[in-house]
Amino acid sequence: MRNLLIAGGAGFIGSNFVHYILERYSDYRVVVYDKLTYAGNLDNLKGLERDPRYAFVHGDICDMDRVEETMRQYKIDAIVNFAAETHVDRSLMSPGSFIQTDVYGTYVLLEAAKKFGIERYHQVSTDEVYGEVLQGSSRESDMLAARSPYAASKAGGDLMVYAYFISFGVPTTITRGSNNIGPYQYPEKVVPLFITNALDNLPLPIYGDGQQMRDYQYVWDHCEAIDIVLHKGKPGEVYNVGTGVETRNIDMARMILKLLNKPESLIQHVTDRPGHDRRYSLNCDKLKALGWRSAHTFEQALEKTVRWYVENEWWWRKIKSGEHYREYYERNYGQRQVLK
């Protein structure tokens, strides 16, 4: 496996994966295929332009002709698909683009994988497809019970991936990861939002009571897991990726404030997200059997992430001062009431 097509490689996890692969494998070529939506950012890939093993193609995964032309031009051996609309709150405001990219776009990439007979198609999916898990932990064989338009679109993508394995023998794998944190995460997701707001002494908007739980993992650990599944995973299989440790949002917010030496009075409880999933939790035994271990505890992951945002204001200030971000912020937070 030499020539990788990394769809969505200009986004948060995709760009980390590109850096990871180029560091790890000297003989791999990486072709980033990305539409550059609001979440795609060439700053995430800065410095790679000079690397002969790296190429960038500006394209939409829903565009069959462009995908096929890229597959042909770069003699692609494997596709890793990160491309998606990814933010739950946006999926509540406008679900259409989620269905288009996360379901139809996945179908287009699978068609290309089938047509070109590639070695592996890997789909990067999420723990959210299992729906909220109040007790215990999700196993890969559990029923999909997505509850937000984002999660439902990702579940649709996963089912299509499986259908292409069963129906056409495309060698597919899927990873379902828990929440990632780390460098280059667009500051609409809770951790970078809270860090950057805190740095500017702005309120940290906690949805509802803040007792919801997420398993926050360091993005580099997730990249390692994808690498392992790509090379050692069995076609047709799904692998969960997470630390197995969940943290309440309110505790995560307090930890960020403590790391930044900011007062807890910045925490502001606001109107909850509709249909807000209280908890996700993954059983990752299947992946561990392939030799993977999460290298960072939540505390280490959060500390590294906070440090990165402190040291890289150039990256996030550009985004947060932009028109698009400000409009989104007003749309998502403007109407929410501050709860007592």
Q: What is the dihedral of CA 304, 309, 312, 313, to 10 degrees?
A: -170
Q: Which three-class secondary structure state does DSSP give residue 6?
A: strand
Q: Sketch the per residue contact string, 140 through 179, with ligand TYD: x for CB under 6 A, - otherwise.
A: ---------------------------------------x
**Out of 82, 194, 298, 315, the residue judged to bind ligand NAD by CB under 6 A:** 82
Annotated catalytic residue within 20, 54, 121, 150: 150
**Out of 122, 189, 296, 320, the residue judged to bind ligand TYD by CB under 6 A:** 189
User: Does 197 interact with ligand TYD (rule: CB under 6 A)?
Assistant: no
Q: Pick between residue 62 and residue 267 the one whose CB is nearest to ligand NAD.
A: 62
Residue 222 Cβ vs ligand NAD, minimum distance, rounded to whole Å: 7
Which of ligand NAD, ligand TYD, none binds 153 (CB below 5-8 Å, type-dependent)?
none
CA gap 256, 302 in Å, rounded: 8
The pair of structure tokens assigned to 251 is: 């505790």
Interactions with ligand TYD, residue window 69-128 (CB under 6 A): 88
**Out of 249, 281, 294, 305, the residue judged to bind ligand TYD by CB under 6 A:** 249
Which of ligand NAD, ligand TYD, none binds 205 (CB below 5-8 Å, type-dependent)?
ligand TYD
Kindly give the residue spans of alpha helices, DSSP state H, lying in 48-199. 64-74, 88-93, 96-98, 106-116, 149-168, 190-199
**Out of 5, 45, 193, 319, the residue judged to bind ligand TYD by CB under 6 A:** 193
Reported as type and span, the H/E element at residue 55 is: strand 54-58
Annotated catalytic residue within 85, 127, 221, 227: 127
**Terminal CA-to-CA distance of the chain, rounded, Å?**
56
CA gap 229, 121 in Å, rounded: 11
Kindly give the residue spans of alpha helices, DSSP state H, lying in 245-322. 249-259, 285-288, 298-311, 313-320
Q: Which three-class secondary structure state does DSSP give residue 34?
A: strand
Q: Which of 270, 249, 246 is nearest to 334 (CA)?
A: 270
User: Does 241 interact with ligand TYD (rule: CB under 6 A)?
Assistant: no
User: Does 138 interact with ligand TYD (rule: CB under 6 A)?
Assistant: no
Active site residue 150: yes
Q: Pick between residue 11 and residue 156 the one whose CB is nearest to ligand NAD.
A: 11
Active site residue 27: no
Active site residue 272: no
Q: Which three-class secondary structure state does DSSP give residue 328?
A: helix
Residue 225 Cβ vs ligand NAD, minimum distance, rounded to whole Å: 11
Find all residues with CB under 8 Å of 102, minimum gap 6, and list them. 84, 85, 150, 153, 154, 156, 157
Binding stretches for ligand TYD (CB under 6 A): 88, 179, 189-190, 193, 205-207, 212, 214, 249, 273
- Which positions are catalytic? 127-128, 150
